[in-house]
Amino acid sequence: MGMQRRTWLLAALAMAGRPAWGATPAPVSDRLGARRLHLRHEATGARFGGPYHNGLVPDPGALAEISAVLADHHTGAIRGFDPAALDVLWLVTRRAGLAGEVAILSGYRTPATNALVDGAGDSQHLRAAAVDVMLPTARFASVLDAAMLLGRGGVGSYPRRGFVHLDSGPPRHWGEASALRQAPRRDPLAQMAEAWAATRGRLPPP
């Protein structure tokens, strides 16, 4: 290949990797597969909408905003929210096909608030690692099934009160027996793949 032809070929390949003239490159978070949440706290009306994780690491600014939205609504106290709990919420809502804003009944709780609502003494709400997700009746079963199938953290079923509890604590489940599904037996290979992905700071695709 002649020198001139090779030079033109290399130039063409370089130009192919560039955005069109005047175009804005896609945000890094989008290219890496951003994890997005749209949340509304039912008691305060506080909202968050957008990416909280760029696919590799959580976004500190977004986590600060979410922590404020999910603050104890009785006292206003804020505690940094556990990114692993947000990942559980993100995966469950995606797998259940729950689009739009997610209504949160309870996020972080101070010990005083937890006692006021008769929460468990070791509740994950106390460490800002749990959310109670309010759901319409028509979507309750799909979200509960997705949470049980995920097999990560705690899942509490409260159909008569219209919410599902999700947290990043040890895997366990509880709730009203009429609505609680028995989690299907998970594929050991899938569990191994998920564990491997976790060591690399990545979650498996939904």
In total, how many domains does the chain have? 1
More confident residue, 65 or 175: 65
Q: Domain for residue 206, yes or no? A: no
pLDDT at 124 over 60: yes
What is the pLDDT, as a whole number, of residue 13?
35
**pTM tops 0.75:** no
Q: State which amino acid sits at residue 13.
A: L
Q: Domain for residue 10, yes or no? A: no
Q: CA 164 to CA 133: how far, in whole Å?
A: 5
pLDDT at 10 over 50: no
Mean pLDDT (whole number) for 89-98: 95
Q: Domain for residue 110, yes or no? A: yes
Q: Would you say 39 and 47 are in contact if contact means Cβ atoms under 8 Å apart?
A: yes
For 101-114, write each residue's pLDDT tens digit.
999 999 999 999 99
Q: Domain for residue 67, yes or no? A: yes
Lowest mean pLDDT among 3-7, 16-20, 77-81, 118-122: 16-20
Q: Would you say 165 and 132 are in contact if contact means Cβ atoms under 8 Å apart?
A: yes
Torsion sign over Cα 160, 47, 92, 121 = negative
Q: Domain for residue 21, yes or no? A: no
Mean pLDDT (whole number) for 58-73: 97
* Three-class secondary structure assignment of the chain: CCHHHHHHHHHHHHHHCCCCCCCCCCCHHHHCCCEEEEEEECCCCCEEEEEEECCCCECHHHHHHHHHHCCCCCCCCCCCCCHHHHHHHHHHHHHCCCCCCEEEEECCCCHHHHHHCCCCCCCHHHHCCEEEEECCHHHHHHHHHHHHHHCCCEEEEECCCCEEEEECCCCEEEECCCCCCCCCCCCHHHHHHHHHHHHCCCCCCC
CATH of the domain at 47: 3.30.1380.10
Q: Domain for residue 14, yes or no? A: no
Mean pLDDT (whole number) for 175-188: 54
- pLDDT bin (cut points 50, 70, 90) of residue 206 is very low
> What range defines the domain where residue 168 resides?
31-199
Q: Domain for residue 160, yes or no? A: yes
33 token code pair: 């597969």
Q: Domain for residue 38, yes or no? A: yes
pLDDT at 69 over 70: yes
